[in-house]
Amino acid sequence: MIPEPLRTVLTPGFKALSFITKPVFGDFAAPLRAEDPEHIRFNFAALADVHVDWRSYRWRRLSTALRDMEHSYTPIDALVTLGDTTDHGEPDHWEMAEWIFMHHKPAKELIFAIGNHDTWTHEEEAGRKFQDLFIEYSEKICNRKLDKVYFYTEVKGYPFVSLGSESDCLNADISDEQLKWFEETMEKAAATGKPIFVLCHQALNQTHGLPKTFDRKEDYKTMDEGGIGDASDKVRAIMKKYKNVFYMSGHSHMGLNGKYTQKKKGYCTIEHDGSLHLFNLPCFMFWNHHGIKWCGLGFQFEVYDDKVVVRPRSYASRLWYSMYRQEIALEK
């Protein structure tokens, strides 16, 4: 993350460099604006692993990113966080998140998926479940009434299906009841005729280089380490029944990487399986591994009638990672 005063000094240099290298790297210093503002239908930002707690550098880093979104030339319809919104799911961590979002309006709607860190509150010992805290603060911060940690919502008619762990484990604990709900809900989402955005903190098992790209580990013990867990095959099979499904995860803290890593190592931040598109976002708050390591990264999704443009951005440094941009045609 580039500090504000330094960014002011560096911006003219970035713009000049971006102008010269545009044919190779894209316009990385372009402002936060849709590529085609006239025809965009839906515009949302996604961050993973925000890890808010009481430490000031964390709320400062998040505030910087939210300010960038607030200043977007194209209004942002939704901001999604893909779990581990809090560092430990404690009430004071949620209060801090509430305080930050009270002071910023990055998007018209906020959607928080649950992550393993959000399930690790010590309040459990006093009989207050992590589910209660997640539901309470989803209503306070996102203004969304939930009854479970998994839920369905629509923004401007675009469907979001959020899966969530039902116990405090490292993988996601997806019950049979949740899987049944997921099957029914995907049918409902598909009926909108729009691309379907599935949110889950953990990636499908063995995608994006898992398990070896999980949390720097090379000595992984099981093949589902860092992934969604036992429900992986069933979740994938349900999604494969539909077209234009965008599955978004975080959790592994894998840095941003692209075609070169795909060719050399066989994995990548954005992977495709027919009409199922898989995104594993870098950790926003901390440094990453296995790719571009900086903190402050997230993705901007621009939805048009016939395509979705995915644009990785450092919201903290206000620069695009244009080389990793992808344009995904929507199947009719």
Q: Where are the alpha helices (DSSP H) in the chain?
A: 4-25, 56-70, 91-102, 130-142, 176-190, 232-240, 259-265
Of the pair 115, 159, the CB lying nearest Fe ion is at 115
Residue 116 lies near Fe ion (rule: CB under 5 A): yes
Query: Of 45-104, which residues contact Fe ion (CB under 5 A)?
Result: 84
Of the pair 116, 314, the CB lying nearest Fe ion is at 116
DSSP state of 16: H
Span interacting with Fe ion, options 38-46, 192-200, 247-255, 281-289, rule CB under 5 A: 247-255
Which residue type sits at 310?
V
Q: How far is the CB of 283 from Fe ion (least distance, A)?
A: 9
Residue 205 lies near Fe ion (rule: CB under 5 A): no
Q: How far is the CB of 84 from Fe ion (least distance, A)?
A: 4
Q: How far is the CB of 233 from Fe ion (least distance, A)?
A: 21
Cα 57 from Cα 51, distance rounded (Å): 11
Of the pair 35, 230, the CB lying nearest Fe ion is at 230
Cα 114 from Cα 85, distance rounded (Å): 8
> What separation in angstroms does the CA of 202 have from each of 31, 48, 168, 198, 324?
31, 10, 13, 11, 21
Which of residues 115, 227, 229, 291 is near Fe ion by CB under 5 A? 115
3-state secondary structure of 102: helix
Q: How far is the CB of 115 from Fe ion (least distance, A)?
A: 5
Query: Of 248-287, which residues contact Fe ion (CB under 5 A)?
Result: 251
Span interacting with Fe ion, options 11-19, 101-109, 211-219, 245-253, rule CB under 5 A: 245-253
Q: How far is the CB of 200 from Fe ion (least distance, A)?
A: 11
Nearest-CB residue to Fe ion?
251
What per-residue string of b and e applies to 52-86 under the rule 16 or more CB within 10 Å gives b?
Answer: bbeeeebbebbbbbbbbbeebebebbbbbbbbbbb
Cα 198 from Cα 202, distance rounded (Å): 11
List of residues contacting Fe ion (CB under 5 A): 84, 115-116, 251
